[in-house]
Chain A
């Protein structure tokens, strides 16, 4: 169990950042569900609850999601059900239970770059940007590639498009962490294939995505693309599955994902 020596609830982001930057063991608190399982000794826990960062709305051609929005709000919000075939609600609906999803936050899930994250994989298949208080706004892919630094994730910006998307995961039992998860999306003729829980953090299968975008996908081509995705990404072994198993799963889930996107009504 973690320890929090002091808990502060700043009134603005600058104050929150100053506290965070002040000492190495000062920490931003998200939903705390994962943090509490560690043994971290936190000098000041910074609670962003007063900063009004729990919201989902449209702004300037984007869907804006505040960092303190819960996964349950993400799952049930009409705006996200209506866009991208509801890929975001779909991605979080198997995470433990309703009560858990009411506790955990979007910001903590993304900022922590958890390898097992269902949400990051789905977001990666969309045109998602991350807004950090100090480092500013950047594509989610760039954020995931950066080394961990002390900053505050303020909100996500998801470009409003007609992108068709789907999310698939394989779990050993309902509500467990995914052994592997896959999100596939298509906008015009450009495809994106994201694979997560490898078990390292989600990544885009760049070569497979490009290959699929080159010509109309036939069944044969889809098989090739799925094979390519499973070969270009790295997989690891943990208690949920071996690297070999994950590689095989990747091929199957990518193929299914592409087929699902192709069957979307607007295609």
Chain B
């Protein structure tokens, strides 16, 4: 079936299979920031925005993206670079495999929460797993980024 959707502000028409998930569709069209890791919807590496909401593209059928506005980190170069530099300065990037999904969710949190507390930050990002950093560096970076340090 064919779907029409907006990817990072660009309209596209793609053919997708009935049981294809959006993460696979995006990756097959070169959006390789979208990572796949857990296959059980718990790691957050495949996080993209669908109509502005942070969602797991590994669990959304591509057909359901028809008519939607999808944003990946490739569509947010300025914001992503700003936060990535802070992450790097805090020694929180390590292997970087989880960074795209993590950054997408951090920016979503910034858009949704006003002056979040440390507890709210941790709660919002529970669905983003990182096997390298132990999260403390990331937490410092987020606080700096949000100006709540």
* B1-26 at interface with A (beta carbon < 8 Å): 1, 18-19, 21
Convert B30-49 into 0s and 1s, putting 1 for each residue whose CB lies closer than 8 angstroms to a CB of A.
00000000011110100100
Convert A171-211 into 0s and 1s, putting 1 for each residue whose CB lies closer than 8 angstroms to a CB of B.
00011000000000000000000000000000000000000
Q: Cβ of A138 < 8 Å from any Cβ of B?
A: no
Q: Which residues of A contact B105 (CB under 8 A)?
A: 97-99
Asked whether B56 lies within 8 Å of A2 as measured between CB atoms, the reply is no
Query: Which of these, A7, A37, A175, contacts B126 with CB under 8 Å?
Result: A175
Using known A-B contacts A96-B42, A99-B105, determine if residue A4 contacts B60 with beta carbons closer than 8 Å: no
Q: Cβ of B131 < 8 Å from any Cβ of A?
A: no
Quote the shortest CB–CB distance from B27 to chain A (angstroms): 16
Q: Which residues of A contact B1 (CB under 8 A)?
A: 7
* B54-80 at interface with A (beta carbon < 8 Å): 54-56, 59-61, 63-64
Nearest B residue to A5, CB-CB: B18
Q: Cβ of B124 < 8 Å from any Cβ of A?
A: yes
Q: Which residues of B contact A162 (CB under 8 A)?
A: none
Asked whether B127 lies within 8 Å of A33 as measured between CB atoms, the reply is no
Asked whether B63 lies within 8 Å of A100 as measured between CB atoms, the reply is no
Convert A102-139 into 0s and 1s, putting 1 for each residue whose CB lies closer than 8 angstroms to a CB of B.
11000000000000000000000000000000000000
Number of interface residues of A (CB under 8 A): 29
* B83-124 at interface with A (beta carbon < 8 Å): 105, 108-109, 123-124
Quote the shortest CB–CB distance from B120 to chain A (angstroms): 11
Asked whether A99 lies within 8 Å of B56 as measured between CB atoms, the reply is yes
Nearest A residue to B54, CB-CB: A99
Using known A-B contacts A5-B18, A7-B1, A102-B55, determine if residue A96 contacts B61 with beta carbons closer than 8 Å: no
Nearest B residue to A36, CB-CB: B59
Most buried by B among A45, A47, A96: A96
Q: Cβ of B53 < 8 Å from any Cβ of A?
A: yes
Asked whether A98 lies within 8 Å of B54 as measured between CB atoms, the reply is yes
Query: Which of these, A4, A31, A72, A93, contacts B18 with CB under 8 Å?
Result: A4
Q: Cβ of B125 < 8 Å from any Cβ of A?
A: yes
Q: Which residues of A contact B138 (CB under 8 A)?
A: none
Asked whether B127 lies within 8 Å of A97 as measured between CB atoms, the reply is yes
Asked whether A33 lies within 8 Å of B64 as measured between CB atoms, the reply is no
Using known A-B contacts A98-B54, A99-B127, determine if residue A6 contacts B59 with beta carbons closer than 8 Å: no
Asked whether A99 lies within 8 Å of B61 as measured between CB atoms, the reply is no
Using known A-B contacts A36-B59, A37-B40, A49-B64, determine if residue A100 contacts B21 with beta carbons closer than 8 Å: no
Q: Which residues of A contact B44 (CB under 8 A)?
A: 97, 99
Quote the shortest CB–CB distance from A28 to chain B (angstroms): 13
Q: Nearest 6 A-B pairs (CB), nearest first?
A: A97-B127, A4-B19, A7-B18, A33-B41, A4-B18, A33-B59
28 contacts between A and B (CB under 8 A): A3-B19, A7-B61, A7-B63, A29-B61, A32-B59, A32-B61, A33-B59, A36-B59, A47-B64, A49-B64, A72-B53, A96-B41, A96-B42, A96-B126, A97-B105, A97-B125, A98-B105, A98-B108, A98-B109, A98-B126, A99-B44, A99-B47, A99-B127, A100-B59, A100-B127, A102-B55, A103-B41, A175-B42
In addition to A7-B19, A175-B126, 6 A-B residue pairs with Cβ atoms within 8 Å of each other are A37-B39, A47-B63, A97-B44, A98-B108, A98-B126, A100-B127
